[in-house]
C-alpha cells in the first residue's frame, strides 16, 4: 500500500527527545517550548506564539480569546474541518457558512459581503490544501465592516500570500502540527498574534485561567491545552527542516501535475494563482461529472489497487450535529457540496519516494476512467 501520509522524522528529532528524557523535562515546563514558540513566531513574523496541545484547541482558544458577545455571527467557509465550526459554537457564537471557490477550494471572497449582517463580528478564514485565501480583499471587507479576522493556517506552514507568511494575517491565527501537516509534533498546535492582550488571554485559556494572585482561585474557566516539552522538541527539530520540506512538497506536487495532466475526467489542483504557488499540503483531485462514479467509488478502487486516499472535507452546512442545533439552515453552498462528493486526495506525505509517486499516478490513471 502506498501510504496517504507518512511524516519525515530523520533530523534532530531523536536527539532532542533524548535531551528531554535525560534532563527529565517532559511536561509543559521545559526549554523546548520557548524555543519552539520563538522559532515559530519568527517564521510567521509575529510578536507572540503560544504552543498548545493541538490545532483544534488552538482554534477554540483563538475564537474564545476575542471575547465576542454571545450570539454574534462568525463567517467561515463551508468547506473546512469541523474544528472551525466547533470553536465558534463552543464560544457561544453562530457559524455562518460561505461557499468555496471552485478553483482554489478556499472561501469564495465574492460571496462574503452578502453573508454579513448587523450581528456579524468576525471572519474565520481557512487556507485549504495548498493555496492561501485571497487575503487583500478579505482584509478590506473586515476593515470596512469592522470585523475581526481569525486565520486558520493549519495547512500552510511556510506558505506565503504575496510574499507575506500565512499566519501573519489574522488578528489571531493558528497552526496544527498533526502528523500530516508540513511539520509535526505528533499532536500539537500554535496560536500566533501581534496583540499583547490576545496573547495574554490565549496563555490564560491554555493554562486553566490560573491567576497570579492566588493559585487555585479562579475568576474564569480555562482549559488545559498545554503542549509538552517532548512535543516541542519534535517541533524544534522539524522547524529546522521546514524550507526543505516545502521544497519537497512542491516538487511532489509538480511531479503529480506532470504525471496526471490531460486526464479527461479529472480536475487537478490549481498550481498557482497570481498571489502564490500551491504548497500541495495534500494533492487533491476532483472527478468531473463526465465520469460515472463519485469519490467514494474511486477511493474504493484505488484502495484495492494499493493506493491510499482520504476523502475531502464534508461541508459545515451539511453536518448533522450543526443542523440539529439549528445552524446554517439557509446556507447554499453548491461548490462545497460538489467537491465533498467528487474530491479526494492521493498519497501526499513527506516520506513518499519519487517511485511511489510515479506508481500512485500510474494507478490513478488506470483506475479513473470510464
Ligand atoms: C488539521 C487541521 C486543523 C486541526 O488540527 P488538529 O491539530 O488536528 O486538531 C484545523 N484546521 C485545519 C484547516 C486543519 O487542516
Q: Which atom of ligand 1 is nearest to the CA of 177?
A: 7
Phi then psi for residue 240, to 5 deg, are -60, -25
Q: Which of 239, 271, 292 is the last residue of a domain?
A: 239
Q: Looking at the structure, do residues 232 and 252 belong to the same domain, yes or no?
A: no
Q: Which of 206, 239, 272 is the last residue of a domain?
A: 239
Q: Report if residue 5 sits inside a domain.
A: no
Predicted confidence (pLDDT) per residue in 79-120, tens digit? 999 999 999 999 999 999 999 999 999 999 999 999 999 999
How many other β-carbons are positioned within 10 Å of the β-carbon of residue 111? 17
Kindly state if the Cβ of 130 falls inside 6 Å of ligand 1.
no
Q: Whose CA is nearest to atom 14 of ligand 1?
A: 154
CATH of the domain at 301: 3.90.1150.10
Alpha-carbon distances of 148 from 122, 145, 190, rounded to whole Å: 4, 9, 19
Is residue 177 within 8 Å of 185, Cβ to Cβ? yes
Q: Looking at the structure, do residues 297 and 260 belong to the same domain, yes or no?
A: yes
The CA distance from 102 to 343, in Å, is 11
> Given this model, what pLDDT does residue 331 score?
94
How many other β-carbons are positioned within 10 Å of the β-carbon of residue 324? 8
Q: Whose CA is nearest to atom 5 of ligand 1?
A: 55
CA of 56 to the centre of ligand 1 (A): 6
Q: Report if residue 8 sits inside a domain.
A: no
The CA distance from 244 to 246, in Å, is 5
Q: Which atom of ligand 1 is nearest to the CA of 126?
A: 13
Q: Which atom of ligand 1 is nearest to the CA of 128?
A: 13
Q: Look at the block and give the residue holding cell 511532489.
A: 252
The CA distance from 127 to 154, in Å, is 8
Predicted confidence (pLDDT) per residue in 274-284, tens digit? 999 999 999 99
Of 313, 323, 350, the C-alpha closest to 8 is 350
Q: Look at the block and give the residue holding cell 507575506.
A: 164
Radius of gyration of the CA atoms of the chain, in A: 21
Handedness of CA 271, 184, 309, 152 (dihedral sign): negative
Lowest mean pLDDT, pick from 6-20, 190-204, 208-222: 208-222
pLDDT above 80: residue 370 = no
Q: Which structural domain, as residue segments, surrounds residue 325?
A: 242-369
Q: Report if residue 183 sits inside a domain.
A: yes
> Given this model, what pLDDT does residue 213 score?
84
> Given this model, what pLDDT does residue 369 score?
87
pLDDT above 90: residue 262 = yes
Kindly state if the Cβ of 129 falls inside 6 Å of ligand 1.
no
CATH of the domain at 195: 3.40.640.10
CA of 80 to the centre of ligand 1 (A): 9
Q: Looking at the structure, do residues 217 and 108 belong to the same domain, yes or no?
A: yes
Instruction: Quickly state the pLDDT bin for 321 (edges 50, 70, 90).
Output: very high
Q: Which of 213, 239, 265 is the last residue of a domain?
A: 239
Q: Looking at the structure, do residues 49 and 154 belong to the same domain, yes or no?
A: yes
CA of 154 to the centre of ligand 1 (A): 5
Q: Looking at the structure, do residues 257 and 345 belong to the same domain, yes or no?
A: yes
pLDDT above 90: residue 196 = yes
Mean pLDDT of the chain: 97
The CA distance from 269 to 260, in Å, is 11
Q: What percent of the chain has pLDDT over 90?
A: 98
Q: Looking at the structure, do residues 67 and 208 belong to the same domain, yes or no?
A: yes
Instruction: Quickly state the pLDDT bin for 212 (edges 50, 70, 90).
Output: confident
Kindly state if the Cβ of 56 falls inside 6 Å of ligand 1.
yes
Q: Report if residue 2 sits inside a domain.
A: no
Kindly state if the Cβ of 81 falls inside 6 Å of ligand 1.
yes
- Read off the pLDDT of each residue in 240-266 and give the average, rounded to a whole number: 97
Q: Looking at the structure, do residues 235 and 250 belong to the same domain, yes or no?
A: no
Is residue 325 within 8 Å of 92, Cβ to Cβ? no
Q: Report if residue 308 sits inside a domain.
A: yes
Q: Report if residue 88 sits inside a domain.
A: yes
Strand partners, 192: 49, 173
Is residue 204 within 8 Å of 221, Cβ to Cβ? no
CA of 302 to the centre of ligand 1 (A): 25
End-to-end CA, the chain: 24
Q: Work out the angle at residue 313's Cα, subtended by the Cα atoms of residues 290 and 300, and round it to the nearest 5 degrees.
A: 55
**Which cell numbers hold the place of 95?**
457559524
Lowest mean pLDDT, pick from 166-175, 207-216, 249-258: 207-216
Predicted confidence (pLDDT) per residue in 132-144, tens digit? 999 999 999 999 9
Kindly state if the Cβ of 83 falls inside 6 Å of ligand 1.
yes
pLDDT above 80: residue 289 = yes
Of 127, 108, 109, 227, the C-alpha closest to 168 is 127
Q: Looking at the structure, do residues 96 and 115 belong to the same domain, yes or no?
A: yes
pTM score: 0.98
CA of 273 to the centre of ligand 1 (A): 24
Q: Which atom of ligand 1 is nearest to the CA of 54?
A: 7
Q: Looking at the structure, do residues 205 and 93 belong to the same domain, yes or no?
A: yes
Q: Looking at the structure, do residues 260 and 227 belong to the same domain, yes or no?
A: no
Predicted confidence (pLDDT) per residue in 323-340, tens digit? 999 999 989 999 999 999
Q: Report if residue 160 sits inside a domain.
A: yes
> Given this model, what pLDDT does residue 211 score?
84
Q: Which atom of ligand 1 is nearest to the CA of 188?
A: 7
The widest CA-to-CA distance across the chain, in whole angstroms, is 69
Kindly state if the Cβ of 156 falls inside 6 Å of ligand 1.
no
- Read off the pLDDT of each residue in 61-76 and give the average, rounded to a whole number: 98
Q: Whose CA is nearest to atom 12 of ligand 1?
A: 154
Q: Looking at the structure, do residues 205 and 260 belong to the same domain, yes or no?
A: no
Kindly state if the Cβ of 176 falls inside 6 Å of ligand 1.
yes
Q: Looking at the structure, do residues 61 and 186 belong to the same domain, yes or no?
A: yes
Amino acid at each position: 500500500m502506498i501510504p496517504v501520509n507518512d511524516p519525515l522524522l530523520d533530523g534532530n528529532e531523536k536527539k532532542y527527545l533524548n535531551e528531554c528524557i535525560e534532563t527529565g523535562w517532559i511536561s509543559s515546563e521545559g526549554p523546548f517550548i520557548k524555543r519552539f514558540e520563538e522559532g515559530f513566531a519568527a517564521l510567521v513574523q509575529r510578536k507572540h506564539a503560544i504552543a498548545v496541545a493541538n490545532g483544534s484547541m488552538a482554534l477554540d482558544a483563538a475564537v474564545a480569546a476575542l471575547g465576542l458577545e454571545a450570539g454574534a455571527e462568525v463567517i467561515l467557509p463551508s468547506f473546512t474541518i469541523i474544528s472551525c465550526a466547533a470553536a465558534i459554537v463552543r464560544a457561544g457564537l453562530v457559524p455562518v457558512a460561505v461557499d468555496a471557490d471552485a478553483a482554489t477550494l478556499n472561501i469564495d471572497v465574492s460571496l462574503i459581503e452578502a453573508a454579513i449582517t448587523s450581528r456579524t463580528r468576525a471572519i474565520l478564514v481557512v487556507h485549504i490544501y495548498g493555496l492561501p485565501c485571497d487575503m487583500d480583499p478579505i482584509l478590506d471587507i473586515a476593515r470596512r465592516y469592522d470585523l475581526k479576522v481569525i486565520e486558520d493556517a493549519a495547512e500552510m506552514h511556510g506558505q506565503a500570500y504575496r510574499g507575506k507568511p500565512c499566519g501573519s494575517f489574522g488578528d489571531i491565527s493558528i497552526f496544527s502540527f498533526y502528523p500530516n501537516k508540513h511539520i509535526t509534533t505528533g499532536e500539537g498546535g500554535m496560536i500566533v498574534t501581534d496583540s499583547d492582550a490576545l496573547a495574554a488571554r490565549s496563555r490564560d485559556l491554555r493554562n486553566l485561567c490560573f491567576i497570579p494572585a492566588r493559585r487555585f482561585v479562579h475568576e474564569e474557566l480555562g482549559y488545559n491545552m498545554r503542549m509538552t516539552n517532548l512535543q516541542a522538541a519534535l517541533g524544534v527539530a522539524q522547524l529546522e527542516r521546514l524550507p526543505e520540506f516545502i521544497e519537497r512538497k512542491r516538487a511532489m506536487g509538480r511531479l503529480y501535475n506532470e504525471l496526471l495532466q490531460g486526464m479527461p475526467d479529472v480536475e487537478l489542483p490549481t498550481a498557482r494563482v497570481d498571489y502564490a504557488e500551491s504548497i500541495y499540503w495534500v494533492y487533491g483531485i476532483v472527478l468531473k461529472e463526465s465520469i460515472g462514479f463519485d469519490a467514494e467509488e474511486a477511493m474504493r478502487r484505488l484502495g484495492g489497487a494499493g493506493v491510499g486516499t482520504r476523502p475531502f472535507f464534508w461541508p459545515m452546512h451539511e453536518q448533522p450535529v450543526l443542523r440539529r442545533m439549528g445552524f446554517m439552515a439557509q446556507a447554499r453552498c453548491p461548490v462545497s457540496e460538489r467537491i465533498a462528493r467528487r474530491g479526494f486526495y492521493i498519497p501526499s506525505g513527506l516520506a513518499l519516494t519519487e517511485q511511489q509517486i510515479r506508481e500512485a499516478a500510474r494507478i490513478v490513471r488506470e483506475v479513473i476512467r470510464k
